[in-house]
Amino acid sequence: MVPAANHDRHAQILEMLQGEDVPVKVVLGHGREAMHCSDALLIASGTATLEAMFLKKPMVISYRMAAASWMLLSRMVKTPFVGLPNILAREAVAPEILQQDATARAWRRGDARA
């Protein structure tokens, strides 16, 4: 199950999953409930990753933003990670799939090698 925060995100997720053989149901809202009852999580970087860490849920952290924003931020921010659990641990405790690597195939595998 993939909870989408709003209608736009719901449509975006459905579009990304088109043509992929991924058995997933996309629902509006209910993020916290989905997290608690899930075996593993695909999660956007942010404070939700800390909640997942405290719940001891395996996760793949994924994030996409406008290319210009990414280029600007990558020059300003010098941390090798975007996920808070990875930043706090100073190592990759959860895989990160970012930008153009954030595809349904990579999410299914749990890494950006797809």
- CA atoms of 10 and 27, how far apart (whole Å): 7
What pLDDT score does 89 carry?
94
* Model confidence pTM above 0.75: no
pLDDT for residue 10: 93
Instruction: Give the model confidence (pLDDT) of 3-44 as tens digits.
Output: 888 999 999 989 988 888 778 889 898 888 888 988 888 888
Place of tokens 């975006």: 12
Span 53-82, pLDDT tens digits:
999 999 999 888 888 988 888 888 888 898
- Spell out the domain ranges in the chain: 2-109
